[in-house]
Amino acid sequence: MNPALVRWLQAPSIILLLLWMIVPLSMTVYFSTIRYNLFYPERTGFIGLSNYEFFWTDAAFMPALLNTLILVGSVLIVTIVLGLAIAILIDRPFRGRGIARVMLISPFFIMPTVSALVWKNMLMDPNNGLFAAFSNALGFQPIEWLSQMPLFSIIIMVSWQWTPFAILIFMTSLQSQDQEQKEAATLDGAGFWSQFWNLTLPHLARPISIVLLIQMIFHLAIFAEIYVTTSGGPGYSSTNLTYLIYIQSQQAFDVGVASAGGVFAIILANIVALFLIRAVGKTLTV
Amino acid sequence: MNLLRNTALGLSLCVAAAPMAFAGELTIATVNNGHMIEMQKLTPAFEAANPGITVNWVTLDEGTLRSRVTTDITTKGGQFDVMTIGMYEAPIWGARGWLEELTFDAAYDVDDILPAMRGGLSHEGKLYAAPFYGESSMLMYRKDLVDAAGMTIEDNPTWDHIRDVAAAITDKDAGVYGICLRGKPGWGDNMAFITTMANSYGAQWFNPDWTPALDSDAWKAAVTDYKSLLDNYGPPGSEGNSFNEILALVNEGKCGMWIDATIAASFVTDPGQSKVDDKMAFAQSPQKATTKGSNWLWAWSLAVPAGTKQSDDAKKFVAWATSKEYIELVGETNGWGNVPTGTRQSTYDNKLFQDAATFDEAELKAILSANPEDSTLNPSPYVGVQFAAIPEFQAIGAAVGQQMTDALAGNISVEEALANSQQIADREMKKAGYY
């Protein structure tokens, strides 16, 4: 076909995609450089980088940045390790495997707000929660999860929700693993671990990098769990960047500062993505 | 995701500009609490009395409602003809000309509205929102436990007395905690209570020149006592407790005393949900240096945004929903124990209501004693008891609330929490150009 014609035919979808990305991005960048507080419509005008300065000199900024990275990092490690272990465990045929698989995957289909409420009120609550009941039965003081270790509690909730995603991806890709190769390795006397390191893990390299990248995108923007359970506290101990932006846009109604925060978040996402792609880059080219 | 969230705000500008309502059709935004749901059920009565007007409801939870209506009114979106707003928003929005002034005919009897409510919903003498349901805060306690300890609680007891009572009735082995107070961070959560406590110690949010006053000795004393009360006599996990969480604890009989919204009285005395319904008694909030501002004042109220094309119909609805006749209608339909209270003197004068409610006198006394225009011991420049009615307060209150929870959890000292709070407030006020 005529290459020019091909370009013309491709153009509408490419332009649409470009608009889809460029319009919100440029609006955010524009808002971040103007004075734009919904409560003071009369105050307008270009103010350079003041919004950025106000955002990053916020006492909550550094803790929020750290919390964001800790959240993303820990959830990634937990979900991938657990996901791998469980996927390999249920890879062998056993009675009731179908039901077990469905149940293992089901947490992923629960809405984050709902799961956060269940964790908060039914499991972690120090008065009425299940964990407190266990502690009391064993004669220990119940742990006040959300006030003593808020970030850890949120990591647990998010990991619980996202491990099924890792299981799902790993489980399906394990099914495409060459079974004859594994049998041959067994005949040659290779144990479980040496099979895992030399056959299974290389086979799963690509799905692992996919899980890493997709989850990273979602975990940089964790919000519902924090909003529902700790409201970012106590202090700043569970505030992440998303929550900080929410406070600026929905409590201070300062669109300018919130947009500056949004631009920070975009930059952070790109840095983390670059770092992760570098780290798993080799495996991507396998 | 962040990008999308932010630009959604901008895009909503364009979307909202499209006219949402047709002639004769009112779109009303409201909050999803019991009294408002009841109002929706009774809408047919309004529509029958006003042929040609139909009502569309947009019902949202408190947080969502607040951000939806605030975004709508500040961007002149025009999505709503009537908005449900709180006592915090009414004077701010009224001052900015975003709400239509409300004037009523003689039959409405505007003088029947409790003066504290009218004051809190007005700006420079002009009424900008009509109260639909109002509340204050008071002390609710287990009379059986206090009696058993050989003690009594009068109206406006001192905080020292409250400490003694809490110490006497706490029985942690039996799962009974002397006092339950809000600890969950939020300007409408822990800060609503802590501010009233601080007021009673003689503290205030801002000095007359608008500089924050959070580093005062009065604040330090109040927050220190608040923390020690909860540390010694409060339930575990107070850092996550707000109204609903504590209500559940009280209904289970786990709290000896509770200071919170007067509406709670109707729940804790309801045998259908409370195990201690016949053991509860009520008193006016505790004091230290003063009783001024020791109990809060709040009203969910109806307002008409400036610029709605159907302002006449909207005002008709506001007048209907906040009228004496509406309260009578609810009383006849659902029983007088379920009418929206806290708005009109005539409700409290009504014999049928007095018979149905057990807490009416305490509630009325609390509401009448609150004065949003004069709620601090020393002069302050703002309106509001448990908040300061300025746009910056939401963000400041939320951040300070976090500091208080951090102190309560023991991660930082009370001094640090207040120093941080002072700095946060100072930063916001400077940015907003107060000084």
Q: What is the mean pLDDT of chain B?
A: 89
- Contact criterion met (CB < 8 Å) for B402 and A245: no
More confident residue, B138 or B269: B138
Question: Residue B3 above 60 pLDDT?
Answer: no
Chain B residues touching residue A148 (CB < 8 angstroms): 409
A chain contacts of residue B186, beta-carbon cutoff 8 Å: 231
Please name which of A252, A263, A247, A245 lies closest in space to residue A52, comparing C-alpha atoms: A263
Contact between A159 and A78 (Cβ < 8 Å): yes
Percent of chain B exceeding pLDDT 90 equals: 67
CB contact under 8 A, A247 and B399: yes
- Residues with Cβ within 8 Å of residue B166, at least 6 apart in sequence: B178, B179, B229, B232, B233, B256, B257
Q: How confident is the model at residue B17, as a pLDDT?
A: 39
Which range in A184-188, A230-234, B288-292 is most confidently predicted, on average pLDDT?
B288-292
The label of the residue with tokens 């609150």 reads B370
With 0.90 as the threshold, say if the pTM is over it.
no
User: What are the C-alpha distances in Å from A236 to residues A108, A143, A258, B181?
Assistant: 28, 20, 18, 21
**B409 Cβ under 8 Å from any chain A Cβ:** yes
Residue B236 is nearest to which of A39, A54, A144, comparing CB atoms?
A: A144
pLDDT over 60 (residue B13):
no
Inform me whether the C-beta atom of residue B13 falls under 8 Å from chain A C-beta atoms. Answer: no
The number of helix segments (H) and strand segments (E) in chain B equals: 19, 10
Query: Residue B75 is nearest to which of A24, A38, A128, comparing CB atoms?
Result: A38
Confidence of residue A200 (pLDDT cuts 50, 70, 90): confident
- The answer to whether the CB atoms of A262 and B2 lie below 8 A apart is yes
Any A CB within 8 A of B89 CB = no
**Nearest-angstrom CA–CA distance, B58 and B84:** 10
State whether A234 and B391 contact (CB < 8 Å).
no
Q: Compute the nearest-CA separation of B38 from chain A (Å).
A: 26
pLDDT in tens, B348-395: 999 999 888 888 889 999 999 999 889 999 999 998 999 999 999 988
Please answer yes or no on whether A127 and B3 come within 8 Å at the CB atom. no
pLDDT exceeds 70 at position A205: yes
With an 8 Å Cβ cutoff, are A249 and B249 in contact? no
How does pLDDT run across B279-325, given as a tens digit for each residue? 999 999 999 999 999 999 999 999 999 988 888 999 999 999 999 99
Judge contact between B310 and B289, C-beta under 8 A: no
Question: The complex's ipTM?
Answer: 0.78
pLDDT category of residue A282 using cuts at 50, 70 and 90: low
* Spatial distance between the Cα atoms of B265 and B281, rounded to a whole number of angstroms: 9
Nearest-CA neighbor of B331 among B364, B313, B353, B361?
A: B353
Cβ contacts (< 8 Å) between A37 and chain B: which residues? 391, 432
Q: Count of residues for chain B?
A: 435
Instruction: Decide if B390 touches A, using CB distance below 8 A.
Output: no
Is the CB of A266 less than 8 angstroms away from the CB of B240?
no
pLDDT digits (tens, 9 = 90+) for A60-75: 899 999 999 999 999 9
pLDDT, tens digit (0-9, with 9 covering 90-100), for B130-165: 999 999 999 999 999 999 999 999 999 999 999 999
Which residues of chain A make contact with B398, given a CB cutoff of 8 A?
231, 247, 251
Asked whether residue B11 carries a pLDDT value surpassing 50, the answer given is: no
Q: How many Å lie between the alpha carbon of A123 and the closest alpha carbon of chain B?
A: 13
- Interface A-B, measured as beta-carbon pairs within 8 A, has a size of 147
In B, which residues are within 8 Å of A242 by CB distance? 1-2, 5
pLDDT tops 60 at residue B8: no
Distance from CA of B384 to the nearest CA of A (A): 18
Share of chain B above pLDDT 70, in %: 95
Residue B197 pLDDT: 96
What is the model's pLDDT at position B1? 40
- What is the pLDDT at residue B218? 96
Task: Using a CB–CB cutoff of 8 Å, tell me whether B58 touches chain A.
Answer: no
pLDDT mean over B264-293: 91
Choose among B3, B74, B236: nearest Cβ to A253: B74
> What is the average pLDDT value for chain A, to the nearest integer?
88
Question: CA quadruple B355, B356, B359, B364: dihedral positive or negative?
Answer: negative
Which pLDDT value is given to residue A27?
Answer: 93
Which residues of chain A does B244 touch, with a Cβ-Cβ cutoff of 8 Å? none
Chain B closest-CA separation from residue A250 CA (Å): 6
Q: Determine, for residues A262 and B9 on separate chains, whether the beta-carbon distance falls below 8 Å.
A: no
Would you call B337 an interface residue with chain A, using a CB distance cutoff of 8 Å? Answer: no
Here the tokens at position B290 are 């003063």
Give the confidence band of A284 by pLDDT, cuts at 50, 70, 90. Answer: low
Residues of A with Cβ-Cβ distance to B176 under 8 angstroms: none
Shortest CB distance from B2 goes to which of A125, A221, A234?
A221
pLDDT of A286 over the 50 cut:
no
Cα A226 to chain centroid, rounded: 13
**Residue B20: pLDDT band by 50, 70, 90 thresholds?**
very low
Give the residue-averaged pLDDT of A128-156. Answer: 88
- Which of the two residues, A1 and B299, has the higher pLDDT score? B299
Interface residue of A215, A231, A245, A247 to substitute, partner B, most B CBs within 10 Å: A231
The answer to whether the CB atoms of B3 and A25 lie below 8 A apart is yes
Mean pLDDT over B234-238 rounds to 90
Cα distance between residue B225 and residue B231, in whole Å = 10
Mean pLDDT of A186-206: 86
